[in-house]
Amino acid sequence: MELLRHSEARMPSPPCHYAVTNRSMLGRLHLRKGQKGEARVWLDKALDTALELDKALELLAAPGTALDRSAREAADEARKARAKL
């Protein structure tokens, strides 16, 4: 968890695809520890970041371009974990 927090502190602005994975993992780790409030914060950040990146890619790239597979999977995991809260 400490490494993920350090990574988050060094995240570029605007965030890259890795931000979705990083934030999803932080949220799921907090959920496992029973820290639902903190989990909710990170899972919401992951989902918001995924949505923002998807929108930006649609505007800047060819239609149909989306998040890379690992970011998409991380967003899916964040949605599943968020549903448990």
**Domain range summary for the chain, segments of one domain joined by +:** 2-83
The dihedrals phi and psi of 31, each to the nearest 5 degrees, come to -65, -45
pTM: 0.76
pLDDT for residue 59: 60
The answer to whether the beta carbons of residues 26 and 3 sit under 8 Å apart is: no
Q: What was the pLDDT predicted at 13?
A: 82
pLDDT in single tens digits along all 85 residues of the chain? 999 999 999 988 878 778 999 999 999 999 999 999 999 999 999 999 998 887 776 665 555 555 667 777 888 899 999 999 8
d(CA 29, CA 36): 10
Cβ atoms of 11 and 22 within 8 Å: the answer is: yes
DSSP 58-79: HHHS-TT----HHHHHHHHHHH
What confidence score (pLDDT) does residue 45 get? Answer: 95
